[in-house]
A and B are shown apart, each in its own frame.
Chain A
Amino acid sequence: MRSFDSDIDVIGHPFPHAIIRNFLDLDAIADELEWLAGQEFESGEADLFSYSSTSELGAAKQLMGLHAALGDSAWCSQLATAFRTPPLSHIDMAAYVYAQGDFLLPHDDRVAGRQIAYSLHLTRGLREDDGGALELFSSRDSVASNVVKRIVPEFNSLVVFRVSPRSWHQVAEVVGDAQRLTVTGWYHG
């Protein structure tokens, strides 16, 4: 189910991350993505975020291929080596839709057990002026400073980063009509 078959190029600044393009074998996984798009997304809002999401999908039989592509042992091993983490044991997985006005404000993702965060982008044709970019912050003493990198979601690209006190990031508000769909979660160790 994975199309990507190379070494992971980890970028160190502002914190270790990688952008893996053409991650999925789309022909092999088309039915699963269609099933995913038909799932119920529940809108949620708090001080930190506004978006719609599914429940945890890691156990969904209809997404076995996607789950394997993101979380099989070979891939986990490759990620752990690239990011120098302890062995990765399992992933969690949910889908998120950001529609116009949705956002996720700065946070570092740190929760016990999380080693690597991932976001698989599944919207075609998202443009920079639509918003929805994943924005990475520089930090000083574990406090976020400035946005130093904007990653415009590219269809079928997987963004992964090491969860640490430095991993401050946000999702810029979606201001266009496009809907930003991702499958997102964490690798646990």
Chain B
Amino acid sequence: MVDFTITSAWYDSAALAAVNEQLTQERVVQLSSFFIEPLGQLPPAKHLKREERPGFAVRTTGPALLTELWHSLLLADWLAQATAAHWELRSCRHECYGPGDYSLLHDSEVGEQRLLLMYDLTEQPQALNGGHNIFSFADGMQTTCNRETGALVLALLAAGDLECMRYVSKLSSGTVRLEHAQFRQSQPITQ
């Protein structure tokens, strides 16, 4: 049984306000130790498929391990508090990037505003060997998120905003593993 209890610090009203402000202004926020338990008891990923699309993405993907979380009311309620909006899950998957893997900057299949969540399952991240997220926004702003085990990345993306996984060096001895979930806004919160 995986414990999805969100760290109490992320329920603090000041923290929620800070998340909201950073997401509004910078559009990307990385929250360390998002869950009380680091999800070490996750079952191994299954049904993984190799995706070889040179010039777009080279990686391994499979069904999300945290499907229960991505569909949960717990997360939906927390997202509503942190973003002042309600979000509906569009898709989720598990992604692995080994040495030599990458995805290039790409748009979403649908150009609408979306909230991207990535939960980092990488064991022993190696910052010098790539494998970090790059966000490139339509207004020219660019943000990088380094790997951090147990951190949740939230990115608020609109039409024309791009994201990618920077190439993982062949010198890396590890694999970047993360859960990737996209949400679309169902309705703003009216007060």
Residues of A whose CB lies within 8 Å of any CB of B are 47-48, 50, 100-101, 103, 105-108, 131, 137, 143-147, 168, 170, 173, 175
Contacts and interface: CB of A to CB of B under 8 A. Distances in A.
Size category of the B interface is: 10 to 19
Interface stretch (B19-27, B70-78, B84-92, B165-173): B165-173
Given A137-B54, A168-B55, A170-B54, A101 B171 contact: yes
- In the A-B complex, the 7 residue pairs with the closest CB atoms: A106-B55, A144-B54, A106-B54, A47-B164, A47-B105, A144-B55, A47-B104
B100 interface: yes
A45 to B, nearest CB: 8
B169 A105 contact: no
Interface in B92-129: 100, 102, 104-105, 128-129
Contacts of B167: 47, 50, 103, 105, 173
B54 A175 contact: no
A28 B116 CA distance: 58
Interface in B168-186: 169-171
Contacts of B55: 105-108, 143-144, 168
27 contacts: A47-B134, A47-B136, A47-B164, A47-B166, A47-B167, A48-B104, A50-B167, A100-B171, A105-B54, A105-B55, A105-B104, A105-B167, A106-B55, A107-B55, A108-B55, A143-B55, A144-B54, A146-B52, A146-B54, A147-B54, A168-B54, A168-B55, A173-B100, A173-B167, A173-B170, A173-B171, A175-B171
Contact of A173 (B53, B54, B169): B169
Contacts of B164: 47
Contact of A131 (B52, B54, B102, B170): B170
Chain B CB within 10 Å — which of A101, A107, A170 has the most?
A101
Interface in B50-87: 52-55
